[in-house]
Amino acid sequence: MFNPARLQSVLRTATALLVASLVSACTGELNELEKVLQKGEFTVLTRNAGTTYYEGGNGPTGLEYDLVKGFADELGVKARFVIADNVKELLNMLAEEKAHFAAAGLTVTEPRMRWLRFTPSYQSVSQQLIYRRGKKRPKNLGELDGHLEVVANSSHAERLKRLHHRYGNLDWSENDELESDDLLTLVAVQFLDYTIADSNEFTLNQRFIPELKVAFEVGEPQSLAWAFPKGADPSLYQAAIDYFIGLIQSGKLAKLIERHYGHLDRFDYVGTRTYRRHIAERLPEYRKVFEYVGKETGLDWRLLAAIAYQESHWNPKAVSPTGVRGMMMLTKETAEYIGVEKRTDPVQSIRGGSFYFRKLLEKFPQRITDPDRTWLALAAYNIGFGHLEDTRIITQQLGGNPDSWKDVKVHLPKLRQRKWYKNTRRGYARGNEALRYVENIRSYYDILVWMDEQERARARELQPKPPAALTIDTPAL
């Protein structure tokens, strides 16, 4: 099948190779891009954080990981990640050219532009003053009543230095050992009064640390981009520019942003605290069942647990006004279809609901890959596969991609509008509820993964610590 986006990618790579060969022909030496292509890999600096690169349930993930992996695939090489402990170490390593570039959620600032080249921006963020719920909210930096601490050598520290003259009593400290995530935790436990975090970092962490709030934004929004040392020749840098131009024009960048942030716009403080309490109080009784069924079905047990929580808050006796019941809230027809005899039996319900979800996943065409496949199947679990198919048809009619959750979710609410549902095969459905359903499960799943990994980290505390900088090769996807 003809793929215009793939053709553009091939043409960009071919152009980069042609330019590289012409330059090397003139100089007699290989340039940076040619060296990378010859060696078959490039080295990239990053940070271990939810906004950049981390080990997920299925291996490395994070927005920066996905972006870098895409660039490596386009060049036909491997990406070798070097994880720095903090921003200071990362910038020092970049200055010493110990990597080809940095993909680490770096903000484009004037001081950095003096010695770094930045690619086109892939995300815009705001700096936010963070404090703990229950404390008095300051309205500006002049009203701070306590200790402010930020990451050393960060864009936050740069901005505070520029604003210092405006607030005569402004005082802060810079931490050269901890990352932004760590400082947010210290504010939550009241070891610090304030910190500054980028809006994307706060959005990701707010679900895990619901005690935190935004007081105000510090200055104007800023751009995030990859950073290349100015000392190196620009061939690889130019290839990266072409890569981002292609991502933006093809819509792939928007899809990646949605994958990592699209479900985070509905933070519920009370609901998040309740969920975390239920993880501690209710989940232990059923965790082994979820883990066993997860292995049985080949599904992540934490996703199955997140579905069950959205359905019943892990209450095996739950009953809805429409007659669905049990841990996974199965209809009578669905229970009969998958062989569940007693819907209020938690083991039967979890197994039955999980196998039913597995069947929904398998009904989609093979061309639909994860995570879109999973989010679409969740929507189908809620409103039925037929109604989801109606929505995919509407999406395609309106010029969207019916295989993309980012596109389909926009049109789910149309199933409640007569002008749309009257022309569908299955008619009316509460599509807006299906949208909330999927986004809630995505957040529940993220929180459960985070808490599970915290447990694993505590279990590894007695093991020898890794060196300051870890080198990790990206696995084949």
Write out the catalytic residue numbers. 311
Whose structure tokens read 């020092």? 92
- Residues contacting 2, CB < 8 A, separation 6+: none
Nearest to 138 by CA among 82, 92, 195, 176: 195
Strands 173-175 and 149-151: parallel
Measured between alpha carbons, how far is residue 286 from residues 211, 302, 324, 446 in Å?
A: 27, 11, 20, 19
Question: What is the helix, strand, coil percentage profile of the chain, to 5?
Answer: 55, 15, 35
| Alpha-carbon span 67 to 254, nearest angstrom | 12
Q: CA angle, corner 25, sides to 22 and 26, nearest 5?
A: 90
Strands 222-224 and 54-56: unpaired
Nearest to 15 by CA among 3, 38, 33: 33
- Residues contacting 54, CB < 8 A, separation 6+: 48, 60, 61, 62
Asked if 234 and 33 touch (Cβ cutoff 8 Å), the reply is no
